[in-house]
């Protein structure tokens, strides 16, 4: 296997694509009570394989960053790798990624807090407990993993939302690490990353924009904006992730032109 990690990254993405396509057939199939247990086991296997695929992608990116640093080149991806593996920048990257991931989970409905609802009473479930909702829905939205942590705190994991959360959180952390590392050089361009992060938040939660806007405008205006933003969800996905990818490249080019370098031990 190549030491640059690209094989692992490719294998991980291909595996996730295949998992989604396989499970898409089940999402449109009629489920009988007799087959429900088998489909639930398949749902557990789906998440197990998806976690392995995401782990392969993460380790592949780590290998790629190490490879670029060891090559000691001056291209933009080598600059990005140097920033990510620098101890100080790595702390910023990890802290920002985790912090934004938690914020994303709260605003997208992955992490749920309902103080007025008692899960064991209203839903008839044991707390703590976990269950799989194996069907039925569109590709990427099944199977759902539901975890009741306490009587008021739970998690609802949808495959596509989980992938978006990890992707956007990683990219936001990457933007923050590069911007902080070269803030004095990139003061004019660093704001792009902040705009992209805010846009990325609305990928999984378009109505959050309406909630935020309602603090400043009338309720009717916020509602109209929320409806429009929900309809533009695909556009937001298409804009925010590429923006979060392009921004580190732009900043890395500026860093390179400034003559900055960082040796990683």
* pLDDT tier at 178, thresholds 50, 70, 90: confident
* Statement: residue 230 has pLDDT above 50: no
* Statement: residue 191 has pLDDT above 70: no
Mean pLDDT of 155-175: 85
pLDDT tens for 98-115 read: 988 888 787 777 888 888
| pLDDT score at 209 | 42
| pLDDT score at 236 | 63
| pLDDT score at 58 | 92
pLDDT tens for 67-104 read: 988 887 778 888 888 888 888 888 888 998 898 888 87
Does residue 5 lie in a domain region? Answer: no
Mean pLDDT of 131-135: 75
* pLDDT tier at 215, thresholds 50, 70, 90: very low
Residue 31 has φ and ψ, to the nearest 5°, of -105, 125
Does residue 172 lie in a domain region? Answer: yes
* Statement: residue 141 has pLDDT above 50: yes
Does residue 8 lie in a domain region? Answer: no
Question: How is 37-51 classified by DSSP, letter by letter?
Answer: HHHHHHHHHHHHHHH
* Statement: residue 263 has pLDDT above 60: no
Residue 178 is part of which domain span? 78-108+159-265
Does residue 178 lie in a domain region? Answer: yes
**What's the rounded Cα separation, in Å, for the pair 101 and 93?**
12
* Statement: residue 226 has pLDDT above 70: no
Does residue 15 lie in a domain region? Answer: no
* pLDDT tier at 262, thresholds 50, 70, 90: low
Edge-to-edge strands, sheet with 144-148: 111-113, 153-157, 144-148, 129-133
Average pLDDT in the chain: 74
Q: Give the least confident one: 28-42, 121-135, 209-223.
A: 209-223
Does residue 6 lie in a domain region? Answer: no
Does residue 3 lie in a domain region? Answer: no
| pLDDT score at 9 | 92
Counted domains in the chain: 1
Identify the sign of the CA torsion 105, 109, 112, 114.
positive
| pLDDT score at 107 | 72
Does residue 125 lie in a domain region? Answer: no
Question: How is the chain classified by DSSP, letter by letter?
Answer: --TTSHHHHHHHHHHHHHHHHHHHHHHTS---HHHHHHHHHHHHHHHHHHHHHHHHHHHHHHHHHHHHHHHT--SHHHHHHHHHHSHHHHHHHHHHHHHHHHHHHHHHTSEEE-TT--HHHHT---SSEEEEE----STTS-SEEEEE-SSSEEEEE-HHHHHHHHHHHHHHHHHHHHHHHTTTT-TTTTHHHHHHHHHHHHHH-THHHHHHHTTTS-HHHHHHHHHHHHHTHHHHHHHHHHHHHHHHHHHHHHHHHHT------
pTM: 0.74
């Amino acid at each position: 296997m190549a030491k640059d990690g690209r094989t692992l990254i490719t294998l991980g993405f291909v595996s996730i694509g295949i998992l989604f396509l396989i499970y898409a057939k089940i999402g449109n199939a009629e489920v009988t009570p007799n087959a429900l247990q088998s489909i639930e086991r398949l749902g557990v296997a789906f998440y197990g394989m998806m976690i392995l695929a995401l782990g392969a992608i993460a380790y592949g990116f780590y290998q790629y960053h190490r490879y670029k640093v060891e090559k000691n080149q001056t291209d933009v991806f080598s600059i990005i790798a140097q920033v990510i593996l620098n101890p100080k920048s790595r702390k910023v990257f990890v802290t920002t990624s985790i912090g934004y991931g938690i914020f994303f989970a709260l605003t997208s409905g992955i992490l749920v807090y309902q103080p007025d609802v008692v899960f064991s009473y209203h839903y008839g479930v044991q707390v703590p407990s976990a269950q799989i909702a194996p069907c039925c829905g569109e590709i990427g939205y099944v199977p759902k993993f539901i975890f009741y942590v306490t009587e008021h705190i739970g998690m609802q994991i949808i495959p596509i939302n989980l992938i978006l959360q990890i992707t956007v959180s990683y990219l936001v952390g990457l933007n923050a690490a590069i911007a902080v590392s070269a803030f004095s050089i990139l003061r004019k361009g660093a704001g792009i990353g902040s705009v992209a992060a805010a846009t990325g938040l609305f990928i999984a939660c378009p109505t959050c924009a309406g909630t935020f806007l309602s603090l400043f405008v009338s309720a009717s205006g916020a509602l109209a904006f929320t409806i429009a933003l929900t309809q533009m969800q695909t556009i937001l996905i298409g804009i925010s992730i590429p923006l979060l990818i392009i921004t580190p490249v732009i900043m890395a080019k500026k860093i390179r032109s400034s003559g900055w370098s960082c040796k990683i031990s």
